[in-house]
Structure 1
Amino acid sequence: MRREAGYDRGHLAPNGDMPESESQHQSLSLARMILQALDYNRNLTATRGRALGRGERYVVTGPVYQGSEIEALKGRAPIPTHIYKSPGSS
């Protein structure tokens, strides 16, 4: 993704949160990425920080496309209007 577009291809589940090499490799699939604003994708650490030291955690995350007209980068990649992350316990 070109930076001048203002978006990164952000992982829904960060590679750094994967426990072993096989799941790290699987996390790199483009199917597990969405367009994310540069600041959001590069500075989001609150969810990981809340989960550390609290045992096994599951985080439900995904894009929200709200409204009747969804913007798309180059007419192909839809841009989420919101992103949710909801940490919970196992």
Structure 2
Amino acid sequence: KAELGVRIGNLPSQLSGGEQLRVSIVRAVAHEPKVLFADEPTANLDNESSKRIMEIFSELHRGGQTIIMVTHEEQYAKLAQRIVHIDDGRIVSEKKQ
């Protein structure tokens, strides 16, 4: 899923930001957590890397993984089943899609 096989011998410093993030996602789900927390997973990534990260999250969710993601990017928030807006530590709106 993460498409990192060709980079298996590389050090973390030799990976792009998107590749490093995909490695961290793989490491996190390897432990089969009930909930996967993702804080701004697409921050500082190019569009292609961001799309790939969101595709991985979609695949994981279809497989039954619960994901809680914090993002400021509306296009990715719209992919969620449930959106909670928080302002100054308080829930200001909540909707299910």
TM-score, with length taken from structure 2 = 0.21
Say which structure is richer in helix.
2
Say which structure is richer in strand.
1
Q: Which has the higher contact order (CA 8 A, sep 6+)?
A: 1
TM-score, with length taken from structure 1 = 0.22
